[in-house]
Structure 1
Amino acid sequence: MKIFAETEHLILREIVIEDTGDMYRLDSDPLVHKYLGNNPLHCKGKARYYIDYIRMQYEKHGIGRWAAIEKSSGDWIGWTGLKMNTEWSPNGHSNFYDIGYRFMPQYWGKGYATESSIAARDYFFEHFPEQKLCGIAELENGASCRVLEKIGLERKEDFFYEPENLMLAWFDSELS
C-alpha cells in the first residue's frame, strides 16, 4: 500500500477497501457531520462507494483522499488529502482541486488537521505546480477555516449552498 507522506505524528497512506469499516465509523458519527450538512451515513455500502470513488481518483487524477494513521497508536483516525472536483460546482466553481480532512472526534484538537493539510498542500504543489488549490469550509466551522488559512489559502468569498442549506467559505491559493 502506497504511503503518500509522513509527518511527525501521522502516516498518510492510500485508502484501501479494508478501510470500509473505519470509513463507516467516521461518516456515521453525527458529531463528525455537524458541519457537513448533518447527513451521516446509515449503511456501510455508502462507505464502500466513497472508497471506490477515492480509488478512482487515484487512477484518473493521480490524487485522492488519504487514510490518516496515528503513528503512536497505529489507529486509523480519519482521512485527509486532495480531490479533483468534477461533479460539484459550488457557487460557479467547477473542475477544481480541493484539500480536505475528516477525523474521528477523539482526535480533534491535536493539530492533526493542520499537520496533515500541510503535508497534502506540499504534495500538491510538488506534483501540480501550475494548479490552484482550493478549500471549502462551513462558516460556522471556525476551526476548519483557521486550518485553511494556516496552510496559506486565502479566503476569497462566502456563499450560500442551497441543497444543503449551508453558508460556506471558499479559500484558494494564488498560482505560483
Structure 2
Amino acid sequence: MKVFIETERLVLRQFTDEDTDNLFALDNDPEVMRFINGGKPVDRALIKEKFLPKIISYYSKYENYGIWAAIEKSSQDFMGWFHLYPALENAFAVELNLVKNDEIALGYRLKKDKWGKGYATEGSRLLLEKGFNEWGVQRVVAWALAENKASIRVMEKVGLKYEKEFMFKESQLPNINSLELKAVMYSLDKSIYQSRWVL
C-alpha cells in the first residue's frame, strides 16, 4: 500500500488493480450514485478496464495530483476516494467550457456508512492545505448538482465560495431527471486561502 498523505483519521493511498471490488461496491450503492448517474448500477468491467486504469495512470502523469483511495484508520475500511487534479482532466467540465488551464478540481465520493462523520471535510481540508502551501496550486474549483446539498456543504465548510450556476447536458447525465441538471460551481484562490492565516 503506497500511502500518499494522512489526516488524523484517514489514510489516502494510491489505488491498485486490487481495488476493483472496492470501487464496484462503492459505485453500486444507489444512494452514493444518486447525484452522479441517477443511482444506476455500474458495470464491473467498466471499472476494471477503464476507470481504474485511468486513476492509476495519474500517478505517473502527476507528482502530486490524482485520485486516492480513502482508508479509515480505526477500522482499516476502504471508504471511498478523494481527488485533486487539473480540472481539464474532467471531460464534462471541458465540454461545458467550465474550467481553465490553471484550475485544480477537488472532489470526493464516500460510502454511505461513512457519511455525516466529517470525513469529506477532513480529507478535503488536507488536500487544500497541501495544494496551496506545498504543491503550487493557485486556484481550486469544485462542482455538484444543486440538489446535492451534502456535497455543497462540504465545499462551503472547507472555504470554497459560490461562483456560478450552470447546467449539465442531458447527454452527460442521461439518468438524471432533466429538471435536476442544474449545478453549482465553487472556487477558492490561493491568495484568499492564505490570507485567512495572516494575523
TM-score, normalising length: structure 1: 0.91
- For 1:80 and 1:40, locate their aligned partners in 2 and report how far apart those are by CA, in whole Å: 21
What is the correspondence of 1:145-164 to structure 2 with a 5 Å cutoff?
145-163=152-170, 164=173
Tell me if the contact between 1:41 and 1:47 (Cα under 8 Å) persists in the aligned partners. no
Select which of 182, 187, 194 maps to 1:167.
Answer: 182
SS of structure 2 residue aligned to 1:69? strand
* Letter paired with 1:132: R
In structure 2, stretches of 5+ residues that fail to align are 192-199
Tell me if the contact between 1:153 and 1:171 (Cα under 8 Å) persists in the aligned partners. yes
Tell me if the contact between 1:80 and 1:100 (Cα under 8 Å) persists in the aligned partners. yes
SS of structure 2 residue aligned to 1:92? coil
Deviation at 1:40, TM superposition (A): 3.7
- The match for 1:97 is 104
CA distance 1:14–1:97, change in 2 (3 Å) = same
Select which of 103, 122, 128 maps to 2:129.
Answer: 122
- The match for 1:53 is 54
Deviation at 1:124, TM superposition (A): 1.6
- For 1:158 and 1:14, locate their aligned partners in 2 and report how far apart those are by CA, in whole Å: 33
- The match for 1:42 is 42
Deviation at 1:32, TM superposition (A): 0.8
Structure with bigger gyration radius: 2
TM-score, normalising length: structure 2: 0.81
- Percent sequence identity is 35
- The match for 2:12 is 12
Paired positions, count? 176
In structure 1, stretches of 5+ residues that fail to align are none
Q: What is the root-mean-square deviation in Å for CA atoms of aligned residues?
A: 1.8
- For 2:54 and 2:129, locate their aligned partners in 1 and report how far apart those are by CA, in whole Å: 23
Select which of 124, 144, 152 maps to 2:151.
Answer: 144
Deviation string 1:122-152 (CA, Å, 9 cap, x unpaired) is 1222343243111111111111111111111
Deviation at 1:39, TM superposition (A): 5.2
Tell me if the contact between 2:31 and 2:39 (Cα under 8 Å) persists in the aligned partners. no
